[in-house]
Amino acid sequence: MTARAPQNPVAVLGAGSWGTALAIQFARGGRAVRLWGRDGARLAAMAQARRNERYLPSTAFPDALEIQPDLHGAVAGCRDVLLVVPSPAFRGVLTTLAPHLTPEMHVAWATKGFELASGLLPHQVAREVLGAERRIAVLSGPTFAREVGAGLPTAMTIASPDGAYAEALAAELSSANFRAYTSTDIMGVEIGGAVKNALAVGAGLSDGLGFGANTRVALITRGLKEMTRLGVALGAHAFTFMGLAGLGDLVLTCTDDQSRNRRFGLRLAAGATPEAALAEIGQSVEGYAAARAIRAVAARTGVEMPICDAVYRVLYEQMPARDAVRELMSRPLKAEVA
């Protein structure tokens, strides 16, 4: 059996593409890693092949990465537990995890998006489930799993109300080709990660309909304004949205076809129904539910978000995308900073 690093393991819960990529990156950074997922058969295949054949077939697992099919076995003795699950599953996994946590364990996540039923962000859900005393953090920013798995140069943000915890996690995740920056604005970082998904669906729709680069850059720029406006209304710092977890993640997911949200919009523009487009992509498309959640949060806070609202109407009210763009372009003229 291959030797594992014996101390200070990290448990990564969620063995999809991004969970696998982060598990690989932690192992490269020197941590012993236990990777857990719900699908026992897939985990067994990953343990046998020493790679994730479905999502990251070209990246072999480092020796320090262990597949662990038992949740308690995955987290026992860990200081850090990292959840990498879609936002609809976040509360459920946290609730299942909670009895297995000891007081000294820290919980981080790479989940993005508002909870649909409550409009809460992941850190607010975590506080409800785990209490106010536990150290928490979110990992976010402009990253694609395949490129992280391949070891290509990447930067991201780790945000926590506890700056020392963010710095410790960043140091342990960073390596020669991976740099983690830190923030204490967990609200702003999470809002950036949530809103960019819906905007990326809009970018895919726009490009799929042939509206061109001018329209795309206008959507990104004005979308950033909407993101910032909502964030400030909810207590985030405006400057957070000019960083990796705001502008960086928005540009990446709106412009590269590795983005599932962008591909979803492209498929809709080609005539697919939302259900058919989701089935074709075959992985979680966070922007679909995000558009609905953002609309509710914006209405509750009184924040105007016309682009996100147009995406919602295309997805849920069968509004033709061309009509949505026409409506956006006919809005009353105003100062750019408004």
Summarised one tens digit per residue, pLDDT across range 143-199 is: 999 999 999 999 999 999 999 999 999 999 999 899 999 999 999 999 999 999 999
Residue 71 backbone phi and psi in degrees, to 5: -60, -45
What integer pLDDT is reported at residue 3 of this predicted model? 40
Task: Report whether pLDDT(1) > 50.
Answer: no
- Residue 5 has a pLDDT of 38
Q: Is 261 exposed, middle or buried (0-12, 13-18, 19+ CB in 10 A)?
A: buried
In whole numbers, what is the pLDDT of the chain averaged over residues? 93
Examine the residue annotation and report whether 112 is marked as an active-site residue of this protein. no
Give the pLDDT confidence of 16-52 residue by residue, as tens digits.
999 999 999 999 988 899 999 999 999 999 999 999 9
C-beta neighbour count of 248 within 10 angstroms: 21
CA atoms of 43 and 99, how far apart (whole Å): 23
**Is the pLDDT confidence value at 6 over 70?**
no
pTM over 0.85: yes
Angle between helices 122-130 and 186-208 (to 10 degrees): 140
User: Parallel, antiparallel, or unpaired: how do β-strands 136-140 and 154-159 relate?
Assistant: antiparallel
Helix (H, G, I), strand (E, B) or coil at 84: coil
Residue of 112, 196, 225, 334 with catalytic role? 196
The residues pairing with 35 across neighbouring beta strands, listed in sequence order, are 12, 67
The confidence band for 111, taking pLDDT boundaries of 50, 70 and 90, is very high
Check: CB of residue 259 under 8 Å from CB of residue 208. Answer: no
Instruction: Give the relative orientation of helices 87-97 and 122-130 as an angle to the nearest 10 degrees.
Output: 20
pLDDT for position 338: 59
5 exposed, middle or buried (CB, 10 Å; 0-12, 13-18, 19+)?
middle
The pLDDT assigned to 30 comes to: 84
188/102 Cα distance (integer angstroms): 29
Picking from 193, 14, 144, 195, the residue whose alpha carbon sits closest to that of residue 89 is 14
- 93-96, long-range: CB < 8 A, 24+ apart: 93/13, 93/14, 94/125, 94/126, 94/129, 94/130, 95/129, 96/71
Identify the pLDDT of residue 333.
64
How confident is the model at residue 331, as a pLDDT?
73
Query: Which has the minimum average pLDDT: 50-64, 141-155, 232-246, 323-337?
Result: 323-337
- Residue 242 burial class via C-beta count within 10 angstroms: exposed 0-12, middle 13-18, buried 19 and up: middle
Q: Which 3 state secondary structure label does DSSP give 144?
A: coil
Please give the DSSP secondary-structure letter assigned to residue 242. G
Q: Quick one: pLDDT at residue 69?
A: 96
pLDDT band of 7, cuts 50, 70, 90: low
- Indicate the DSSP class of residue 113: S
What is the predicted pLDDT for the residue at 324?
Answer: 86
How confident is the model at residue 257, as a pLDDT?
95
Residue pLDDT, tens place only, 261-278: 999 999 999 999 999 999
Q: Which two tokens stand for residue 109?
A: 């996540």
Check: CB of residue 113 under 8 Å from CB of residue 87: yes
Q: Measure CA 123 to chain center.
A: 13
What integer pLDDT is reported at residue 25 of this predicted model?
94
- The arithmetic mean of pLDDT across residues 296-315, rounded, is 96
Report strand pairing: 106-109 vs 178-183: unpaired
